[in-house]
A and B are shown apart, each in its own frame.
Chain A
Amino acid sequence: MTPSRTAFAAILAKDLRSELRTLQSLPAMALFSVTTFVIFRFGLDRTSLSGSLAAGVLWATLLFAAVLGINRLFVAEREEGGFDAIRLAPIDRSVLFGAKVTALIVYLLALELVAVPIFALFFLQDAGGLGPLAGVLLLTDLGLAATGALISSMAVNSRARDLLVPLVLLPLVVPLMIAATGATEPLLALGGPSYHRFGTWLMVLGLYDLIFGLVGYAVFDFLLED
């Protein structure tokens, strides 16, 4: 293994282990999403959802639950001196970005593993669209994790950490959410999934992931300088 790969694996393992031991983010994210579904049930006064309404409820909930995790992504680094350790270590700093993005993807997948089945149980009459939805979820998680890790690493060093992440992240992920809901909507349509413009939306998602993955990789070095 090259030094970068070792460092990447070490940081990722550290993050996942500390999350498993402290359970700071994941239970909160899952609980938040379930509660939000219940609020949507009464807010919209519907017992079953389909099409654009289902896609909107699902993505709004997942996005806000993700913000909870993104808020806390770098808190340990900030408070326990992890940033200084990374700065001292003879490794490429973008390794930290890669590891954090991967950790965030794992969190988001774990969140979705809980939230999407519950969403289907609560609201969907026909769960046939859930298979292809996995692809949409994965691509959206990539983009959300790239932008989330970037914004989180900046917000954590500011005075208004918990305020800045939602404030800056939400407008930034609007294109991602447009594409994600666009791809999800026909999958959850009443009367079985359809694939209207599915491929196009997946391409937009992929393009977003690529651009913000590269931007994050390129600028992350500057965020660690001091």
Chain B
Amino acid sequence: MYGKGLKPLSIATVAMIALSLSLVFFYAPLDGDQGFIQKIFYLHVPLAMTALVGFIVGGVFAIAHLRTNNRKWDAYSYVAIHISVIFGVAVLITGAIWAKASWGHWWVWNEPTLVSFLIVFLMYATYYPFRYAIEDRDRQARYASVFAITAGAFVPLNFMAVRMAQSLVHPRVFATSNGGLPGEMLVVFLCCLVAMALLWVTLVKFELTAKSASGQVKRLRRALDAPAPGGSSRIAPEVS
């Protein structure tokens, strides 16, 4: 039942990514300082922003779960965090590549945004062992929601603390006093941001659909009184 609208959404995502990538390579001007490698910015930054917003969204779903006690919201929260963690891996990899190309090292400790992101990523990486260490399903859902809310509050605080602890070497492209991004770059950047956000939504929807389908299969099997070999997987929260 989550499959509704999945096809047009997927097509829109693919089209938007194709459009954004062609804009990045054929329309966006070359950066005066960094040249071609700066183009990774159009991938790295939208990915990071989407992942962070996804983490917060996971926290909001968790609040909805605790308020309504509806397991649907726990599944939403789980999938939002799950996809954001995957995006997080991509952010750290693209960030490392960018750091190597522009600063000469794969990892730069005095770069507050990258370090903050690593800490946030490590925090959310503990979501999985935490979740699957709790056996009772209702309790698992409730505790996972509490985790998601706590970690959601942690994200902005962590960025503030790391930012304060370090010197500013990261390009503050949106905050610089003399204008920030030039117009063409900004347009391309916004396109990429929309593309990544669409990709996130599509993946979340796919994951939810898959989970709901496997939950239905499991229920049907149970109804047929033939328990599935191997039993139920604890990895995925069931969606009804």
C-alpha spacing A218/B146, complex, angstroms? 10
Could you tell me if B123 and A212 are in contact, using CB atoms closer than 8 angstroms? no
User: In the assembled complex, which residues on chain A have CB atoms less than 8 Å from the CB atom of B143?
Assistant: 154, 157-158, 223
A168 lies within 8 A of chain B by Cβ: yes
C-alpha spacing A215/B145, complex, angstroms? 12
C-alpha spacing A211/B119, complex, angstroms? 18
Task: From A4-12, A20-28, A173-181, give the one contacting chain B.
Answer: A173-181
Could you tell me if A167 and B129 are in contact, using CB atoms closer than 8 angstroms? yes
23-58 of chain A: CB within 8 A of chain B: none
B157 lies within 8 A of chain A by Cβ: yes
A13 lies within 8 A of chain B by Cβ: no
Could you tell me if B135 and A222 are in contact, using CB atoms closer than 8 angstroms? no
Could you tell me if A179 and B123 are in contact, using CB atoms closer than 8 angstroms? no
Could you tell me if B146 and A223 are in contact, using CB atoms closer than 8 angstroms? yes
Could you tell me if B153 and A164 are in contact, using CB atoms closer than 8 angstroms? no
A207 lies within 8 A of chain B by Cβ: yes
On whether A178 and B165 interact (CB within 8 A), knowing A168-B130, A208-B157, the answer reads: yes
User: In the assembled complex, which residues on chain B have CB atoms less than 8 Å from the CB atom of A215?
Assistant: 149-150, 153
Could you tell me if A171 and B149 are in contact, using CB atoms closer than 8 angstroms? no
Q: Chain A 144-186 against B: per-residue CB contact (8 Å), 1 yes, 0 no?
A: 0001001000110111100110011001101110110010000
The number of chain A residues with a CB under 8 A from chain B is: 34
Could you tell me if B142 and A222 are in contact, using CB atoms closer than 8 angstroms? yes
129-176 of chain B: CB within 8 A of chain A: 129-130, 133-135, 139, 142-143, 145-147, 149-151, 153-154, 157-158, 160-162, 164-165
A204 lies within 8 A of chain B by Cβ: yes
C-alpha spacing A225/B143, complex, angstroms? 10
C-alpha spacing A123/B135, complex, angstroms? 46
A226 lies within 8 A of chain B by Cβ: yes
Q: Which residue of B lies closest to A161 (CB)?
A: B133
C-alpha spacing A163/B135, complex, angstroms? 15
Could you tell me if A175 and B147 are in contact, using CB atoms closer than 8 angstroms? no
11 CB < 8 A contacts A-B: A154-B146, A160-B133, A175-B161, A175-B162, A178-B162, A182-B164, A182-B165, A208-B157, A215-B150, A222-B145, A222-B146
Q: Which 4 A/B pairs are nearest by Cβ-Cβ distance?
A: A175-B161, A158-B133, A171-B123, A160-B133
16 extra interface residue pairs, beta carbon distance < 8 Å, beyond A154-B146, A163-B129, A219-B66: A154-B130, A154-B134, A158-B130, A163-B133, A167-B126, A172-B150, A174-B161, A175-B119, A175-B157, A175-B158, A176-B161, A182-B164, A218-B149, A222-B66, A222-B142, A222-B145
